[in-house]
Structure 1
Amino acid sequence: MKPKPTIHFTNNLAPHYMEPLILQLLESDDFDFSFSCGKNENNGIQTIDFSSPKYQAHSNKINSNIKNIWIKNKYLVWQGGVIKQCLFGKKIDLMILLGEAQLFSNWVAAIVCRIRGINIAFRGHGLYGNEGFSKKLLRTTFYKLANANMVYERRSKNILIENGFKENKIHVVFNSLNYYYQKSQRQKYTEVSKSDVFNFFKNPNLPVLIFSGRLTKAKKLKMLLETCKLINNANEQKVNVLIIGDGEDSEHLHKFAESNLPQGSFKFYGSCYDEEIIGKFFSKADLCVSPGNVGLTAIHSLSYGTPICTHNNFGNQGPEAEAIEDNVTGFYFEENNIRDLFTKTLSWINKNPNKSNDLVQNCYTIIDKYYNPQFQEKVFLNLAQKKAPIV
C-alpha cells in the first residue's frame, strides 16, 4: 500500500477561528498532518488551547513553541526553529509556510526545502495589485521560491498569473470559521423570533444592521452610524444598528451614536466570543455593514444567512470580500462614499424588508461550496499529491 502523504504546516499563531480546520487536517484519513506555531504575544487575539482533551491524541503532531520575533508587535520578521526543522527534520512531502515576504526566516527555510527536495508552498494573501515597483519585486521574488502558492481568493490568483506565475501552481484555499457548529445552528435560529433576539431595541422588528469585529479606525464604522442617521432622517425607513466588539474607536463611536441616533435604535454589545450569542444576532439581523476592510466578518455573516455590504476597492480589502455576490448576497459601494453607502443600503432594505428564504439559502450556498474545512482539506491534499488546483 502506498504511504499517505506527509504535510507540515507552520503558522505564526494558532488563532481560534482556525480550530475546526486544524482538527480536520489532524484527523484526515488522506494524509499525515502536523502543525507548528508561535505563542500568542499580541493582545486581542484568541488562540487555540492545545492542552484541551481533543488534542491529546495528536500531541506528537503539534508544536506550539516556535519563537516569533516581531517588530513593534506588528511585523513578524523571524520564526526561530523553522529553519532547523526544514534542515534536520524528517523529509516530508509538503511543507507549508507563511507567504509573508518580510518573514526572513522563510526565505532561508524555502531554499533549504528546495535543496532537500521537499515540496514547499506558501500560504498567504499573494499580491493585492496596489504594490509599488519595489514591493512587488520583493514579493514576486519571494513567492517564486515555492513550488506552489496558496492564496485566499481568485483575485490574488489572477494577479499572480498576470505577473508571470503558472496557473496550475496557484491554489485558492479560501478561509473558514467554525463551519460545522454554524451549520448545525441554522434551523435552530429560524425558530427564534426577532423581537426576542433584539429585545434591547425600542422597536425590535425594524430592519437591523449589524457589525461584529474589532472597533478600529480601519473599519470606518462611523460611516455605518452616519448611514443609520441618514436613513432615520429620510422618513422612508427606520433601522436599528447592533455593533459587537471593542477597540480603539469604541468611545468615539458611542458618543456619535448618543448624539445622532434615536435612543433605543442602537446597541453596543461589547466584546463577545460566545458563538451562540453571535450566531443568534447574525441570523436574525437583516444586513451586515462593514464600511472599511471586511475580512472574516463576511464569512461569519454569510454563514448565518445574512447578506453583507462593504466597499469595492479590492486593493484595500480583505480577501473574504470576494465571497459577496453583488446584489445577490449583499452589495458593494464606492469606497469612502457615504452617500453611495446610504443610497444602496436604503435601497437594499426597501427591497428586502424581511430576509427571504432564497436570500438566506444563497448566503449558505457560497459558504457550503468553498468556505469550509472540507474544501480546504482537499486543497491541502491536492498540493501534497502535486495535482492541479481545484479553483
Structure 2
Amino acid sequence: MKKIILIYPGFPHYRNGIIETLLESKNNKYYFVGDKNGYAGIKPYDFKTIEQFKHCPSYRIGPFFFNKGLIRFALKTKADGIIVHSSPYWISIIIASLIFRLKKTRVINWTHGLLDDKKNTYNKLYYYFFKLFFDGLLLYSNQSKNNLVKLGYKETRANVIYNSLDYKNQIKLRNTLSDHGRNEIRGEMFINPENHQLIFIGRLTSQKRLAFLVNVVKLLKDENININLLFVGEGMEKESLIDLSLKLDIADQVHFYGASYDENNNYRLIVSSDICVAPGEIGLTSIHSLVYGVPVISHSDPNNQMPEFEAIKPGINGALFENGNIEDLKEKIKLVINLIENKSATDLKKDCYKIVDEYYNPDYQLKIIEKAFN
C-alpha cells in the first residue's frame, strides 16, 4: 500500500465524509497533518485518537500562516505521495511541498484554483504559483480548470475532484420523512403550510443578498402566488430581514428558524421545503439540498460563484437566474414551481440525486485521488 499524506492548515468538520472514506481505503494508507484546532474559526474535524493524524499547530504573522513542526516533519518523513491545501500565504506548507518534491515525491495541491476567468495580475500570480510549486492540482470545478488552462496551465496536470459532505449519512436519511411528517413540520412554522416553501440555509450575511428573497416573496404575492420562506441560520442581517418582512406585510410568510448543526434536523427542514434558493453565491448548500432531492436556484455568473453552482442543471434540478436581477429570480422560482407541479415527485428527486451520486460524493473523490497517484 502507498503512503499518502494530506497536509492542511487544519481539517474542517464538514470534511468528515472524505476523511473517513480515505481512512477506509483498501488501496492506500492515508495520513493527515494539520492543526487539530482547525483554522480561520472553522469547527475542526475531530481525529480523536487516530494514529494517522499528526498535530502541527498553526499561527499567523501578518498575512502569512505557519504550522509549527511541519518543516521538521517533512525533512524526516518518507511518503509515496503528498496532497496539500495551500495558497501563497501558507509558508510552512509551501516549504514542506518543496522538500518533498526534492525527495522526488509527487505533491498535489487540492485547491479552488481560479474561480474567475479574468486575465489580471492576481490570477497570473496564482497561475505561476500552481505551476512552479506543485506537480498537479485537484480542483473543485470544471470552471476553475478551464480558467487555468486558458492561462496556459497543462490540462493533464489538473483533475476535477468536485466536493462532498457527509454523503453516507445523508443517503441513510433520504426518504425517511413521510409526507405526513413533512406537512407537520410546515404547519409548525407557517399559518398556510399548503403554500410552496423556499429555504435558505446558511449564515444570514449581506453578501448572501437575502433581502432579494424577502422582496421576491412580496413580488410573487402581488401576482397572487403565495410562497413561504424559511431561513435556517443566524447572522447580522437577521434583524433587518425581520423588519423588511414586517414592512412588506408578509411576516406570516417568512419564518426564522435559527441555526441548526444537527444533520437529522437539517434533513427534515430541507425536505420540508420545495426549493432551496441562494440569491448570492452558493457553495455546498447546493449539494446539501440536491442530495435530499430538493431543487436549487442561484445566480448564473460564474465569476462570482462558488464551485458547487455547477451542480445546478437548469430545467432538470433547478434554475439559474441573471445575477442581480430580482425579476428574473421571480420568473425562475415560477419556472421551478412549474417543474415541481408537472413532474412526478420520484422523477424530480432522481434528477436531483443524479449529479451528487455521480460526482459530488467521497467515493468519486477517492477514485480521483488514487488515480492521481497511480
Q: Is TM (by shorter chain) over 0.5?
A: yes
- Contact between 2:75 and 2:99, CA under 8 Å: does it hold in 1? yes
* CA distance, structure 1, for counterparts of residue 44 and residue 152 of structure 2: 37
Q: TM-score, normalising length from structure 1?
A: 0.90
Q: Shift in Å at residue 132 of structure 1?
A: 5.2
In the alignment, does 2:102 pair up with 1:102? no
Aligned to 1:165: 153
The alignment partner of 1:11 has SS state of strand
Deviations 1:291-325 (A, max 9, x none): 11101101101011001011111111110000111
* CA distance, structure 2, for counterparts of residue 345 and residue 288 of structure 1: 10
Is the alpha carbon distance of 1:81 and 1:316 closer, same or farther for their aligned partners in structure 2, counting shifts above 3 Å?
Answer: farther
Counterpart of 1:337, as a letter, is N
Q: Shift in Å at residue 241 of structure 1?
A: 0.5
Q: Which segment is superposed worse, 209-218 or 92-101?
A: 92-101
Counting only pairs closer than 5 Å after superposition, residues 1-391 of structure 1 correspond to structure 2 as 4-38=1-35, 39-43=37-41, 45-51=42-48, 56=49, 59-69=50-60, 71=62, 77-89=65-77, 91-131=78-118, 133-144=120-131, 145-199=133-187, 200-235=189-224, 237-353=225-341, 356-385=345-374
5+ residue gaps, structure 1: 386-391
Q: Shift in Å at residue 83 of structure 1?
A: 2.5
Q: TM-score, normalising length from structure 2?
A: 0.94
Q: Shift in Å at residue 147 of structure 1?
A: 0.9
* CA distance, structure 2, for counterparts of residue 68 and residue 31 of structure 1: 31
* CA distance, structure 2, for counterparts of residue 107 and residue 350 of structure 1: 51
* CA distance, structure 2, for counterparts of residue 140 and residue 257 of structure 1: 45
- Contact between 1:295 and 1:321, CA under 8 Å: does it hold in 2? yes
5+ residue gaps, structure 2: none
Q: Give the number of equivalent residue pairs.
A: 370
Counterpart of 2:305, as a letter, is Q
The alignment partner of 1:264 has SS state of helix
* CA distance, structure 1, for counterparts of residue 227 and residue 353 of structure 2: 24
The alignment partner of 2:82 has SS state of strand
Q: Shift in Å at residue 24 of structure 1?
A: 1.1
CA RMSD of aligned residues (A): 1.8
* CA distance, structure 1, for counterparts of residue 301 and residue 283 of structure 2: 13
The alignment partner of 1:344 has SS state of helix
* CA distance, structure 1, for counterparts of residue 64 and residue 294 of structure 2: 34
